[in-house]
């Protein structure tokens, strides 16, 4: 028994390692900062650079599926080794770009770095989550907080290095090397719980007991056949679309309600902080009130975020805009946490890695809707129509949310 307690106590160390690994992997979300020197030196337009981010997020999702398969066949250590090397190659080759064609950027950053980070994201979550069947939400929240905080922490570091004597090319190489080292070390240090480890099981809340879960592990094919999967997938995609859209034009949104330039830049960082807070708070709440109530609360929070921001731009209120951005950050942060916690709760841990990779495609769904939001914004010249559309999607998500039941 004492031996089991000793092994079980290590899980908090593994969670810490996982958070650090996710912090470095989350640099993918700092693209709004990382793209600045490329636009300045090569003259690539906003649409060219936006397409690169879309490609990076698409291959991030594909990398998650790839990571699940590699981890299952040859182990999580090899998967994270491949992840680190791909990330290093992607960033290093980006640093060497001659600038003659933006297509090369799509290959180096969009495909290679996107794949590498996608592999790490899935494998780290699956490996660490296996230690926390009793605290699924808290574990997911901590890991997602690390990933979400990267844009603020490493993004600011990258921005400072860009402005130093090192320049952007050397900075890209440093970032790639740091990501590679951290992810490979995480692979060496992280372990999955063995058959001899007795893991504590979660307490059944009123919310979860009322759903009467079937205690089965579902394969990905079985999961895809379940209406509950598709309802949750569309629901989370619609909720994520609000955050994805606002992140893409947060600075301009603040400027539209007469925020000073310095404050508008700072609010982008505030949005990132609230994103991280939303992730860990949602995880903690999940463990207390269960899946159903947590997803409903996240949905209501997103409705409030879109509604407050719509009202702010309608009357030109800066304080309300700040409140809307904070609520949006927290609501967006709740999405990846409920994605991971929902997948493990509904479909079990045996096939969690692959199932989680499939559910992560909600990121792509949210990003595609964000692209539509920007097109609407460009066509109308104002934010009102965009937020009316997003608010409508949150109510559709709420209807789906209400009808999500056991697998």
Q: What's the mean pLDDT in 188-216? A: 64
321 Cβ neighbours under 8 A, 6+ residues apart = 253, 254, 257, 259, 309, 312, 313
d(C-alpha 345, C-alpha 239), whole Å: 20
Tell me, yes or no, if the pTM score tops 0.85: no
pLDDT band with cut points at 50, 70 and 90 for residue 215: low
Q: What's the mean pLDDT in 84-112? A: 92
Percent share of the chain, pLDDT over 70? 92
pLDDT for 12 beyond 50: yes
Task: Determine which of 127-131, 237-241, 309-313 has the lowest per-residue pLDDT on average.
Answer: 127-131
Fold of 207-402: Growth Hormone; Chain: A; (1.20.1250)
Q: What's the mean pLDDT in 150-174? A: 88
Q: What's the mean pLDDT in 312-328? A: 94
Please state which CATH number belongs to domain 10-189. 1.20.1250.20
- What mean pLDDT is reported for the chain? 85
pLDDT for 207 beyond 90: no
pLDDT band with cut points at 50, 70 and 90 for residue 46: low
d(C-alpha 126, C-alpha 352), whole Å: 7
CA dihedral defined by 381, 382, 384, 390, rounded to 10 degrees? 70
Pair 140, 109: CB distance under 8 Å: no
Q: What's the mean pLDDT in 118-146? A: 83
pLDDT, one tens digit per residue, over 219-278 is: 889 999 999 999 999 999 999 999 888 877 777 888 889 888 778 767 777 887 788 788
Which regions of the chain carry the CATH code 1.20.1250.20? 10-189, 207-402
pLDDT, one tens digit per residue, over 56-75 is: 888 988 998 898 889 888 98
CA angle 389, 404, 246 (to 5 degrees): 30
pLDDT for 143 beyond 90: no
| pLDDT for res 296 | 92
| pLDDT for res 93 | 95
CA dihedral defined by 236, 128, 68, 158, rounded to 10 degrees? 70
Q: What's the mean pLDDT in 312-333? A: 93
Q: Rg of the Cα trace of the chain?
A: 21
Percent share of the chain, pLDDT over 90? 38
Pair 342, 140: CB distance under 8 Å: no
d(C-alpha 129, C-alpha 344), whole Å: 9
pLDDT for 155 beyond 70: yes
Pair 38, 44: CB distance under 8 Å: yes
Nearest to 240 by CA among 378, 361, 381: 361
pLDDT band with cut points at 50, 70 and 90 for residue 2: low
pLDDT band with cut points at 50, 70 and 90 for residue 188: very high
37 Cβ neighbours under 8 A, 6+ residues apart = 162, 167, 168
pLDDT for 307 beyond 50: yes
Burial class (CB in 10 A: 0-12, 13-18, 19+), 352: buried
| pLDDT for res 172 | 95
| pLDDT for res 229 | 92
pLDDT for 125 beyond 60: yes
**H-type helices in 76-135, by residue range?**
76-95, 102-105, 114-129
């Amino acid at each position: 028994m004492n031996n089991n307690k000793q092994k079980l106590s290590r899980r908090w160390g593994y969670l810490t390692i996982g958070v650090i690994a996710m912090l470095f992997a989350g640099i993918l979300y700092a693209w709004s900062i990382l793209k600045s020197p490329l636009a300045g030196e090569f003259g690539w337009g906003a649409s060219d650079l936006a397409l690169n981010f879309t490609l990076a997020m698409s291959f991030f999702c594909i990398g998650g599926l790839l990571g699940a398969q590699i981890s299952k066949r040859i182990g999580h250590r090899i998967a994270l080794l491949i992840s680190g090397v791909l990330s290093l190659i992607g960033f290093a080759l980006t640093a060497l770009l001659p600038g003659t064609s933006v297509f090369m950027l799509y290959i180096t950053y969009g495909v290679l770095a996107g794949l590498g980070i996608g592999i790490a994201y899935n494998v780290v979550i699956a490996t660490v989550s296996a230690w926390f069947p009793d605290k699924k939400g808290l574990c997911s929240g901590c890991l997602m907080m690390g990933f979400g905080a990267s844009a603020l922490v490493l993004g600011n570091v990258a921005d400072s290095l860009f402005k130093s004597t090192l320049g952007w090319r050397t900075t890209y190489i440093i970032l790639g090397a740091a990501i590679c080292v951290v992810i490979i070390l995480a692979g060496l240090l992280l372990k999955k719980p063995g058959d001899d480890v007795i893991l504590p099981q979660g307490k059944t809340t009123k919310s979860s007991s009322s759903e009467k879960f079937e205690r089965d592990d579902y394969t990905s094919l079985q999961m895809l056949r379940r209406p509950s999967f598709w309802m949750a997938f569309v629901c989370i995609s619609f909720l994520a679309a609000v955050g994805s859209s606002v992140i893409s034009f947060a600075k301009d949104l603040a400027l539209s309600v007469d925020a000073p330039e310095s404050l508008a830049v700072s609010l982008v960082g505030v949005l990132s902080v609230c994103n991280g807070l939303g992730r860990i708070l949602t995880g903690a709440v999940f463990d207390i009130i269960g899946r159903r109530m947590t997803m409903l609360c996240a949905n209501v929070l997103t409705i409030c975020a879109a509604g407050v921001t719509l009202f702010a731009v309608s009357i030109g209120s800066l304080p309300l805009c700040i409140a809307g951005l904070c609520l949006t950050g927290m609501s967006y942060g709740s999405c990846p946490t409920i994605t991971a916690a929902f997948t493990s709760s509904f479909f079990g841990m045996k096939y969690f890695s692959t199932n989680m990779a499939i559910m992560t495609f909600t990121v792509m769904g949210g990003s595609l809707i964000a692209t539509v939001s920007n097109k609407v914004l460009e066509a109308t010249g104002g934010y009102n129509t965009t937020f009316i559309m997003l608010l409508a999607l949150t109510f559709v998500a709420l209807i789906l949310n209400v009808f999500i039941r056991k697998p």
